[in-house]
């Protein structure tokens, strides 16, 4: 492996300084002055039909520019999910509808000169609802009397198990071998159900979008989105505006984590600006972000694992029920990932089955959220593995080491399960999971800490879990890059890839710089503009490093070749005899600087603009792997616990930027800890969200996170840019199971419902004592 100069080197992000200094960068910073303020009237009922809606009084308020209701839109069913077309999500949403399906659903929209006027008008809209019985319990949704989507004009784009009459948004099933037979013949079987909650993303920037008609008479949107190209397409198809008349720009985004991988305010704001010709903007309040954007799919996963008495895992059977809320964005794909990016961890089983249903309920729609099903699946599987170890009287580390996937192995699941469609067979050409586990044991001094050490009422214990994720969606998601050479020998890198704070602008510049043998400061990056940058599916499915990175690598290679050819021409030499070190071309006796060449190409002789564009679609999705270890101190009299350390050992191939990769892991780990221990959604019996503010919904603060230890394995993925795999999601997957296992190791109680709270622990301890 050649030593690299830019790749696998720590360097600060190219935008950190400007951001810290407060320069205009985010979507609302760039709104046009004098934009109409857009406010949405939201449903107070979990399920209702709008019998009548009258906007006359509201429209008469001075300063109100326009009010839209379902009467003002053609019924074009679409999905808001930012996914490749045709989407694996049902087209079950209308811009505005005469049904409202959750408290917070859109009823009408007002645009006015200022916020106060808009709110005044909102209050004057008269509505008459036929209130219907909602479905709030996802375990009672299937075949419920209440049909949440009774309308006839909705559809799936291809078979995904969509059956709205049963309240089913999607369904999936696959089996390898004969699982029932395998389990019945196994010496030991462990069976348990696990429940995960509707976690909220709580990215610090609320969703926001603004639109204007530019002087070319085109509709231009600035949106905090992870998928500008998908936004453009969905707007065009739904509002019937020619695609060529729409431009979507993603400015700096204050966090997405999947919560901005679907349309939020773009549809209504685009409609308003298109119809009025005036600039308009909508910023969600935090309450609206909680109530009316997206959450994680809550799930119940029924796990059965069988093994021989000497610890060979024979079969895994998983049935899942997933709650997609009022609309089916990401319903199938999240559910599939729950199986496809978890079950292959134990690839040597004789049989495996994964199936289940994704149901509608009258709650905030679920959607994409880092981990994307893998965190839910991981909690269930990795908890069950520890339970299996207990039943086998076997060390849980040994059980994993005996059965987990290793380098050069494969799993039949890779070929069967993609994301929404069939998958792609692949061997694990890079898999350092065994090293990750071994190294983690060293770093945490596991041998001396497992299972626990007791000191009066405080118990220190450890727990762990292993995980995998993916690197993009093969054959479906494409990324592209354009690099151009300027005078003075610097470059512009134009990429569709969306930087939402994870640093893709920086690491893609590093890849380009490596290939062009220059430094990052010579590369000006511009990203995520549907007019000016080439296509990229967007920041999701852990695509950016692997897919977009490969596109950048190819484009940079092409540009370098073009530059070498031009240099050869100027130097009257054979292109094969040209050497290049990033700043100078050499040929036998002559030298030509890049600066001179670039200036000549612009101004002097046979002038031309050198630009290279290239694209990449993955042929596989090489998983990053991780072993996560938690150490806690638990107070057995109160159930309270503190997290003393979380150690992560990660195989993501080569890290393009080790510090930014560390940031992805640690940020993911802390979000995973939030889901494991602190975050929970609460609703009233009528379906109203109680935890709709950052006062009532608590994410970890700095005091909850004392110590994080993060290391990367030496690994190299042949198919990745400079050996890299992606790293955006994997950090989040292990904390829930690791914590559950640590709690079990501390006090012998297993919490199978997230979040794991002190009260649940204390109740379980008491129950256990009562039984004894």
The residues with which 18 forms a beta bridge, in sequence order, are: none
The answer to the question of residue 770 lying near other proteins (CB under 8 A) is no
Instruction: Tell me the β-bridge partners of 358.
Output: 170, 322
Choice between 34 and 242, CB closer to other proteins: 34
* Cβ atoms of residues 76 and 93 within 8 Å: no
56 binds other proteins (CB under 8 A): no
Cβ proximity to other proteins, 502 vs 726, nearer residue: 502
CB of 23 to other proteins, least distance (A): 8
Binds other proteins (CB under 8 A): choice among 469, 548, 662, 734: 662
Which among 23-31, 100-108, 264-272, 477-485 is the span making contact with other proteins, rule CB under 8 A? 23-31
The C-alpha atoms of residue 133 and residue 461 are separated, in whole angstroms, by 47
Centroid of chain to Cα 348:
29
Judging by DSSP bridges, how do beta strands 280-283 and 36-42 pair with one another?
parallel
Window 524 to 583, contacts with other proteins (CB under 8 A): none
Nearest-10 crossing angle of helices 735-747, 374-392? 30
Cβ neighbour number for residue 241 with a 10 Å cutoff:
17
Q: Which of residues 183-212 bind other proteins (CB under 8 A)?
A: 201-206
19 binds other proteins (CB under 8 A): yes
759 lies in the site for other proteins, by CB under 8 A: yes
**Separation CA 581–CA 583 (nearest Å):** 6
Enumerate the H helices of 92-177 as residue ranges. 115-124
Stretch that binds other proteins, among 144-152, 227-235, 437-445, 660-668 (CB under 8 A): 660-668
- Which is closer to other proteins, CB of 88 or CB of 256? 256
Among 63, 255, 412, 582, contact with other proteins (rule: CB under 8 A): 255
Confirm or reject binding of residue 768 to other proteins (CB under 8 A): no
Which lies closer to other proteins via its Cβ, residue 321 or residue 689?
A: 689
Tell whether residue 25 is a contact of other proteins (CB under 8 A): yes
Q: Which listed range, 134-142, 303-311, 331-339, 668-676, lies at the site for other proteins (CB under 8 A)?
A: 668-676
Q: Under the criterion CB under 8 A, does residue 767 sit at the interface with other proteins?
A: no
Closer CB to other proteins, 205 or 566, in the complex: 205
Residue closer to other proteins (CB basis): 328 or 731? 731
Name which position in 128, 569, 682, 767 contacts other proteins (CB under 8 A): 682
257 Rama class: left (phi>0) / alpha (psi -120 to 50) / beta: left
The radius of gyration computed from the CA coordinates of the chain, to the nearest angstrom, equals 27
**Span 66-95, contacts to other proteins by CB under 8 A:** none
Query: Could you tell me the smallest distance in angstroms from the CB atom of residue 757 to other proteins?
Result: 8
**Beta-sheet strands, E only, within 274-407:** 280-283, 298-307, 313-325, 351-360
The backbone torsions φ and ψ at residue 480, rounded to the nearest 5 degrees and listed phi first, read: -140, 160
* Residue whose CB is less far from other proteins, 205 or 350: 205
Residues 70-102: b if buried by 16+ CB within 10 A, e if exposed: beebeeebbbbbbbbeebbbbbbbbbbbbbbbb
* Cα-Cα end-to-end distance for the chain: 60
CB 598 to other proteins: min, Å = 29
Residue 311 makes contact with other proteins by CB under 8 A? no
For residue 319, state whether it binds other proteins (rule: CB under 8 A). Answer: no
Which residue of 13, 43, 55, 719 would you call a contact of other proteins, by CB under 8 A? 13
Q: Pick between residue 257 and residue 354 the one whose CB is nearest to other proteins.
A: 257
Stretch of 298-306, 459-467, 482-490, 690-698 contacting other proteins, by CB under 8 A: 690-698
Query: Is the Cβ of residue 238 or residue 502 nearer to other proteins in the bound state?
Result: 502
Q: Which parts of 146-175 interact with other proteins (CB under 8 A)?
A: none
**For residues 642 and 73, what is the distance between their CA atoms, to the nearest angstrom?**
53
Touching other proteins, residues 695-754 (CB under 8 A): 695-696, 698-705, 707-708
| Euclidean distance between CA atoms 436 and 624, whole angstroms | 11
Which CB atom, from 506 or from 715, has the smaller least distance to other proteins? 506
Residues 6 or more apart whose CB falls under 8 angstroms from that of 553 comprise: 511, 512, 515, 721, 722
Instruction: Report yes or no: 727 and 661 within 8 Å, Cβ to Cβ.
Output: yes
Cα(463)–Cα(448) distance, integer angstroms: 13
Is residue 228 a contact point for other proteins (CB under 8 A)? no
- List binders of other proteins among 491-510 (CB under 8 A): 500-503
Q: Does 659 bind other proteins (CB under 8 A)?
A: yes
CB nearer other proteins, residue 584 or residue 709: 709
Beta bridge partners of 304: 191, 317
Q: What share of the chain is helix, strand, coil (3-state, %, to 5)?
A: 30, 25, 40
């Amino acid at each position: 492996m050649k030593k690299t100069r830019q790749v696998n080197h720590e360097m600060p992000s190219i935008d950190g300084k400007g951001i810290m200094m407060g320069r205009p960068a985010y979507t609302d910073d760039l709104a046009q002055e004098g934009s109409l303020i857009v406010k949405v009237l939201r449903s107070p009922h979990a399920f209702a039909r709008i019998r009548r809606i009258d906007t006359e009084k509201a429209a008469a308020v001075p300063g109100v520019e326009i009010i839209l209701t379902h009467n003002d839109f053609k019924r074009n069913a679409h999905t808001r999910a930012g996914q490749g077309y045709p989407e694996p999500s049902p087209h079950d949403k209308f811009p505005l509808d005469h049904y409202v399906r959750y408290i917070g659903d859109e009823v009408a929209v007002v645009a006015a000169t200022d916020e106060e006027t808009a709110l005044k008008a909102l209050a004057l809209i008269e509505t008459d609802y036929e209130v219907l019985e909602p479905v709030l319990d996802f375990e009672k949704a299937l075949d419920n009397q209440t049909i949440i989507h009774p309308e006839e004009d909705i559809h799936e784009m291809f078979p995904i198990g969509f059956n709205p009459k049963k309240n089913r948004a999607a369904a999936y099933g696959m089996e390898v071998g004969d699982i029932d037979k395998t389990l019945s013949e196994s010496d030991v079987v462990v069976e348990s159900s696990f429940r995960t909650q509707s976690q909220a993303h709580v990215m610090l920037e609320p969703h926001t979008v603004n639109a204007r008609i530019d002087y070319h008479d085109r509709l231009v949107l600035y949106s905090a989105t992870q998928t500008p190209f998908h936004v453009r397409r969905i707007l065009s198809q739904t509002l019937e505006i020619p695609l060529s008349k729409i431009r979507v720009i993603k400015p700096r985004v204050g966090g997405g984590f999947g919560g901005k991988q679907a349309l939020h305010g773009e549809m209504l704001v685009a409609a308003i600006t298109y119809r009025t010709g005036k600039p308009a903007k909508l910023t969600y309040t935090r309450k609206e972000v909680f109530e009316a954007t997206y959450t994680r799919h809550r799930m119940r996963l029924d796990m059965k694992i069988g093994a021989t008495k000497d610890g060979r895992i024979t079969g895994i059977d998983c049935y899942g029920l997933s709650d997609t809320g009022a609309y089916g964005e990401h319903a199938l794909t999240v559910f599939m990932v729950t199986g496809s990016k978890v079950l292959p961890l134990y690839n040597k089983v004789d049989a495996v089955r994964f199936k289940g249903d994704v149901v509608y309920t009258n709650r905030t729609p679920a959607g994409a959220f880092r981990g994307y099903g893998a965190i839910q699946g991981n909690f269930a599987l990795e908890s069950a593995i520890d339970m299996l170890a207990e039943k086998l009287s076997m060390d849980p580390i040994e059980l994993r080491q005996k059965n987990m996937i290793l380098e050069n192995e494969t799993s039949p699941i890779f070929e069967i399960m993609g994301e929404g469609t069939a998958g792609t067979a692949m061997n694990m050409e890079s898999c350092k999971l065994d090293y990750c586990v071994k190294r983690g044991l060293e770093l945490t001094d596991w041998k001396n800490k497992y299972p626990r050490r007791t000191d009066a009422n405080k118990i220190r214990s450890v727990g762990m879990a292993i995980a995998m994720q993916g690197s993009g969606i093969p054959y479906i998601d494409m990324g592209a890059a354009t690099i151009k050479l300027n005078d003075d020998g610097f470059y512009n890198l134009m990429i569709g890839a969306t930087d939402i704070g994870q640093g893709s602008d920086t690491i893609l510049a590093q890849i380009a710089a490596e290939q062009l043998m220059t430094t990052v400061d010579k590369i000006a990056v511009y990203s995520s503009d549907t007019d000016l940058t080439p296509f990229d599916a967007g920041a999701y499915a852990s695509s950016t490093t692997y897919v977009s990175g490969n596109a950048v690598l190819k484009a940079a290679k092409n540009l370098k070749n073009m530059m070498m050819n031009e240099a050869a021409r100027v130097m009257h030499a054979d292109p094969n005899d040209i050497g290049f070190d990033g700043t100078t071309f050499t040929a036998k006796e002559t030298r030509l600087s890049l600066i001179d060449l670039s200036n000549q190409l612009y101004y002097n002789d046979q002038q031309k603009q050198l630009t290279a564009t290239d694209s990449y679609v993955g042929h596989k999705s090489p998983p990053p792997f991780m072993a996560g270890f938690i150490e806690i101190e638990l107070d057995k009299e109160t159930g309270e616990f503190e997290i003393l350390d979380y150690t992560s050992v990660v195989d993501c191939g080569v890290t393009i930027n080790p510090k930014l990769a560390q940031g992805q892991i640690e940020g993911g780990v802390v979000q995973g800890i939030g889901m494991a221990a602190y975050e929970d959604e609460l609703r009233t019996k009528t379906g109203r969200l109680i935890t709709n503010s950052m006062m009532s919904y608590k994410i970890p603060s700095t005091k909850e996170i004392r110590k994080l230890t993060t290391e990367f394995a030496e690994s190299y993925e042949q198919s990745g840019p400079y050996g890299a795999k992606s790293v955006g999601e994997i950090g989040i997957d292990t904390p829930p199971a690791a914590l559950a296992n640590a709690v079990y190791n501390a006090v012998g109680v297993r919490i199978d419902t997230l979040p794991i709270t002190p009260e649940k622990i204390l109740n379980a301890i008491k129950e256990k004592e009562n039984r004894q």
